Amino acid sequence: MAALPPPGLHIPASTSTVSISIIKTSTEIRGLPTGYFFDPPIPGHDHIAAPAFAFLIRHPVLNRTLIFDLGMSKNWRSNPVLNARFGNSKDVGVTVNKSVREILESEGLDCKDVEAVVWSHWHMDHTGDVPEIEKSTKLIVGPGFQEKVLPGYPRNPESYVMESDWEGRELLEIDFSTSGLKIGKFQAYDYFGDGSFYFLDSPGHAVGHLCGLARVTADPPSFILMGGDAYHHGGMIRPSPYLPFPENVAPNPFAPSTGSPCLGHIFESLLQDGDKKKPFYKPSAPAAGGAYDDPEEAGRTIQKLQEADVREDILMVAAHDETLLDIVDFFPKLADGFVEKGWVRQARWRFLKDFAKAVGYEGEVEGMRSWGPPNQS
């Protein structure tokens, strides 16, 4: 089935770059049912994999540093709303051993030099331990945050966010209406003003959701797209009109180390409407207790992301993409050289391993982890 040519993203030309390290935070959440995030159900894929990635963004010329997302706070139980929901749950298990600041400073990075912390959005597995970071470090949030999320706890005793996270520091809400810039179909904001790092307006999952697009090489250009929770599984974004499902899947998602592909037809019965250009999953509806505030808007954001996802020079990193654990290099290493290392090709169809049971695969699946409820090992 022929792919549609993807529309151009029209990323402005620039010779300026940033360096990116993907941070594997210590956050792990087990027991989250897949139906909370996406539909339709696929047998055997019952729980979502939930590590949490953050990013260290360093501009070498301007000597400016950002942290994009923070994973979950070690002190999340201090918010009574979160503690009541997850503290004694038999179905959901939360582990947080170190804050992002502790991870960074263990490798000699002085967080006093961090200009800003960015929240892709305000959910607890992204907001981390902001109070550990100096008050001189500002907090960056997406559009609508101040109007629709504030006040936080304790002024609002039912809030999931803590007012202590921004008390005494600058709270900067990105205003895309002043930018006049588009990348692909996204409203964009050039943060450093030199084309090295953009915020992308990516609503649907939560109020004010932001993605980040970082230029990590200039000639030829390559980019890392920080997806936050714009999607929660590779099957929500792939296949697409620009990236139809292949006849042969390589590397083999069940045994990538073998170097041999597997036949794509074994997955075709799982495709939505049997369509090789339609993702396996779509965002769950709020009526079903879904994680997406506006599933239709989330679907439009995913469609915009698909125009970037087809490219070999853009590495897509969603915050909870467990398939990347065995592929990418994590902090303190840099991710800038992902093109030469072939990470895009290695990662693209790896999510299919989650469908092993559904397609009757009986062998051992490389890299398979258990993310079920904490009372199930």
Q: How far is it, in rounded angstroms, from Cα 300 to Cα 309?
A: 14
Residue 71 confidence (pLDDT): 97
Q: How far is it, in rounded angstroms, from Cα 262 to Cα 102?
A: 42
Q: What mean pLDDT comes out for the span 193-212? A: 98
Mind listing the pLDDT tens digit for each residue in 25-84? 999 988 889 999 999 999 999 998 789 999 999 999 999 999 999 999 998 888 887 888
Between the alpha carbon of residue 72 and those of residues 28, 123, 222, 294, the distances in Å are: 9, 9, 29, 23
Residue 255 confidence (pLDDT): 95
Q: Is 210 exposed, middle or buried (0-12, 13-18, 19+ CB in 10 A)?
A: buried
Phi, psi angle pair for 82, to nearest 5°: -70, -40
User: For the stretch 189-201, what's the b/e string if a residue is b when 16 or more beta carbons lie within 10 angstroms of its beta carbon?
Assistant: bbbbebbbbbbbb
The CATH number assigned to the domain with range 19-355 reads 3.60.15.10
Q: What mean pLDDT comes out for the span 115-143? A: 97
CA atoms 116, 120, 124, 126: torsion sign:
negative
Phi, psi angle pair for 275, to nearest 5°: -95, 120
pLDDT, averaged across the chain? 94
pLDDT band at 150 (very low <50, low <70, confident <90, very high): very high
Residue 88 confidence (pLDDT): 76
Q: Is 66 helix (H, G, I), strand (E, B) or coil?
A: strand
Q: What mean pLDDT comes out for the span 220-246? A: 98
Residue 377 confidence (pLDDT): 44
Residue 376 confidence (pLDDT): 52
Phi, psi angle pair for 166, to nearest 5°: -120, 0
Residue 5 confidence (pLDDT): 87
Least confident of 17-31, 151-165, 276-290, 316-330: 276-290
Query: Percentage of the chain with pLDDT > 70?
Result: 98
Mind listing the pLDDT tens digit for each residue in 247-278? 999 999 999 998 889 999 999 999 999 999 99
Length of the chain in terms of residues written: 377
End-to-end CA distance of the chain: 41
**How many contiguous H segments (helices) and E segments (strands) does the chain have?**
7, 17
Residue 289 confidence (pLDDT): 67
DSSP output for 361-376: --SPPTT----S-TT-
Which is higher by pLDDT, 2 or 10? Answer: 10
Q: How far is it, in rounded angstroms, from Cα 304 to Cα 74?
A: 34
Q: Do the Cβ atoms of 214 and 224 come closer than 8 Å?
A: yes
Query: Domain residues of the chain, as ranges?
Result: 19-355
Between the alpha carbon of residue 223 and those of residues 11, 149, 169, 215, 278, the distances in Å are: 10, 31, 30, 4, 25
Dihedral through CA 301, CA 302, CA 303, CA 307, nearest 10?
A: 100
Q: How far is it, in rounded angstroms, from Cα 2 to Cα 223?
A: 26
Is the per-residue pLDDT at 110 higher than 90?
yes
Mind listing the pLDDT tens digit for each residue in 140-149? 999 999 999 9
Residue 288 confidence (pLDDT): 60
Helix (H) or strand (E) holding 300: helix 295-309
Is the per-residue pLDDT at 242 higher than 70?
yes
Q: Do the Cβ atoms of 164 and 171 come closer than 8 Å?
A: no
Q: How far is it, in rounded angstroms, from Cα 279 to Cα 244?
A: 9
